[in-house]
Structures are given as structure tokens and as C-alpha cells.
Structure 1
Amino acid sequence: MNEEPSTARVALKWGLILGVAQILFSTFLFLTDGIGNASLGYVSYALSIAGIVLVMRDFRTLNGGYMSYGQGLSLGTLTAAVSGFLSSLFSVFYMTVIDTGVMGRVIEKTREQLEDRGVPDDQIDQQMQVVQMFQSPGLLFVFGIIGAAIGGLIFSLIIAAFMRRNRATPFE
């Protein structure tokens, strides 16, 4: 009887690969002052989707061409969580050690975007206070992991539905 591959092992491998890709992309954003650019943010989503598709495809190949919906869901979510852990760790390190002025520039860019939209000054000030409350490295780290895991779960719910391939009989 063929032994089924470990979903955790495959997800950790692809989580590390996706995490490195996210770190490289984050470095590009930090160096080009692209943090806060919404259109560049979609590239990060595309990386996550590609990573989730690749982890499910790899697992399905290792598992004789089969993957249940639940396996796909757990693969994608765990991959995204590992990737989120690594990229959040890097981002916090970058913002606290390498370039401590990144968050100030992000806040200023956000203020400018709100002013361009015509948001009243009192509402802008309130929003800036909220942004500054969540600027601590610990919160950025925790919310980065949680956000990545939730995003991975949502993407996996959809992707696993298309990529699952159940065995004809449970005895295969």
C-alpha cells in the first residue's frame, strides 16, 4: 500500500518558498517606496495564489494524482501561514532595524491619498490616530500572520474546489 505524503511537510516546504518570494517582493517595495501602492499589492495576492496552486499540485502529484478538498484547504492555509510568518518577521525586522522611517512615509502617503479624495481634515486626523495605534512591531507581526492565514484560507477554499481529485473508491 502506498503511503500518503504528509500535508504538513509539503505545506512547510512551499510555505518557505512562498515566504522567500514574499520577502523578495517586500524588499522591492521597501526599496522603491511602493508600500501602500494598491496596484502593487495585487502582485502579493498573485504570489500567494500561485504558491497555493503549486503546493496543491505538488501534493496531488506525490499522492498518486489525488487530493481531497480538506487536504487542499489545509495545504493552502498552512502554506500561507508559514509564508506570512516569514514575511511578517522580515517586515518587522526591516522596519525596526534597517529603515525606521518606513512607517512615517507610509502614514504620510496615506494622508496624501485621503486628502486627494477630499476627506475632511478631522476624519483624516482620526484615521491617522488609528493607523499610529497599530504601528507597533508586535501588532504588525501578529496581524501579518493572521492576515496571511485568513487570505490563504479564502484562496484555498476556492482553489481546492477546482484542484481536488477524489479517489473512485476509498480503498484505492
Structure 2
Amino acid sequence: METPATPVTTSSVGIRYGLLLGLVSVIFSFLQLTFIEDPETPLRWLSVIILIGGIVLAHKHFKQQNQGFMAYGQGLAIGTIVSAVSGIIGGVFTYIYFTFIDPSYMARVMELTRSRMEEKGMPDAQIDQAMAWSEKFTTGPISMIFPILGALLMGFLISLVVSAFTKNSRPEFE
């Protein structure tokens, strides 16, 4: 005797794939922070591709569990939850990395940024002001908030587009 399959919900799929995506993102971020000196490398855009892939896989799983159907709103909810969960994991990792693993990382990045501003010919007063503002947003617990908000916003925008392609609405008169 077969037990009926429990239908999956958008939140269960979103959390599951958010945790998986968060793990992959942490590994990618750790490798990038450890081995690449310049944070302005084009490889940083690979994280967006990883996010898109995670959302597409979550949509695919949801559709497989729901007879191939997924409404646009469900896809948007799944993508937003995936990005929120992975963003929280990424934000916590970022805080831990900058605070405990490599506390001098941000100082190196700030120095690199300062030298780039000087090369562009910016006045010293303007550079000092920019460095002061940057330091406020990249130290302490606030350094955890911006990756979370950034991942949530980016994931929502990506989900708006991806959901339009992956949706398969259930027919109304079925």
C-alpha cells in the first residue's frame, strides 16, 4: 500500500534550497576571499550565476513535486525565500570571516580602494570622507546586514525574471 505523497510548499522548497545555496555560496566566498586579492575581480559575478542556478533548481524541484505546475507567484516566493536564507547564511559567514578568520582583510581592501581613488585624482578630503563612510558600513555586526539585504534584493529581482520563464500555471478548468 502506497502512502500519499505530501505536497511540498513554497517555503519548504525555498528553505531547503536556500540552505544548499547558502552552503555553496559560503564555499565560493571563502575560496574567493582566501585566494583572490582584488575584490573587483570579474569572478565576483559568478555568485549571481550560482544564485540563478539555485533558484532554477528550486523551481524545478517544486514543479516535479506538483505535477509539473508552478504559478508565477509561487516561483517568486520560492526564489525570494531561497535568496533570503542563503543571504542570512552568507551574512553570518561574512561577519565571522571579517571578525575572526581574517580581520585584516577589510584593511587591505580599504587601502586598495584608497590607492585607486588617488590614481583617479580625487581630492584627499573626499577620499577620507569616503573611507570613513566605508569603514562604518564594513565593520561590526552591520557588515552582516548588507550582504543579507543585497542577497534578498538581488534574489527578488532575479526571481521576477526567472519565474516568468519557469512558471507553468495549472489550467483553470481542470
Shift of 1:35: 5.5
How far apart, CA to CA, are the structure 2 residues paired with 1:124 and 1:40?
26
Aligned to 1:68: 71
| Equivalent of residue 83 in structure 2, options 80, 91, 94 | 80
Deviations 1:94-142 (A, max 9, x none): 1111111011011112112223333333222211111011122311111
Shift of 1:69: 0.6
How far apart, CA to CA, are the structure 2 residues paired with 1:34 and 1:81?
28
Structure 1 residues 151 and 107, CA gap change in structure 2 (3 angstroms): same
Question: What TM-score do the two structures reach when normalised by structure 1?
Answer: 0.92
Matched, 1:135 2:130: no
Say if 1:7 and 1:71, in contact at 8 Å, map to a contact too: yes
Q: Alignment RMSD, CA only? A: 1.8
Question: 108-117 or 69-78, which moves further after superposition?
Answer: 108-117
Aligned to 1:27: 30
Aligned to 1:113: 116
Structure 1 residues 56 and 35, CA gap change in structure 2 (3 angstroms): farther
Aligned to 1:52: 55
Aligned to 1:92: 95
- AA in 1 matched with 2:27: L
Question: 88-97 or 75-84, which moves further after superposition?
Answer: 88-97
Work out the percentage of aligned pairs sharing the same amino acid. Answer: 36
Question: What TM-score do the two structures reach when normalised by structure 2?
Answer: 0.91
Runs of 5+ in structure 1 lacking a partner?
none
How far apart, CA to CA, are the structure 1 residues paired with 2:38 and 2:84?
21
Question: 111-120 or 131-140, which moves further after superposition?
Answer: 111-120
How far apart, CA to CA, are the structure 2 residues paired with 1:23 and 1:39?
18
How far apart, CA to CA, are the structure 1 residues paired with 2:106 and 2:13?
35
Aligned to 1:103: 106
Aligned to 1:148: 151
Say if 1:36 and 1:109, in contact at 8 Å, map to a contact too: no
How far apart, CA to CA, are the structure 2 residues paired with 1:11 and 1:2?
19
SS at match of 2:141: helix
SS at match of 1:137: coil
Runs of 5+ in structure 2 lacking a partner?
none
Question: Matched residue pairs, number?
Answer: 171
Aligned to 1:14: 17
SS at match of 1:67: coil
How far apart, CA to CA, are the structure 2 residues paired with 1:108 and 1:114?
10
Aligned to 2:164: 161
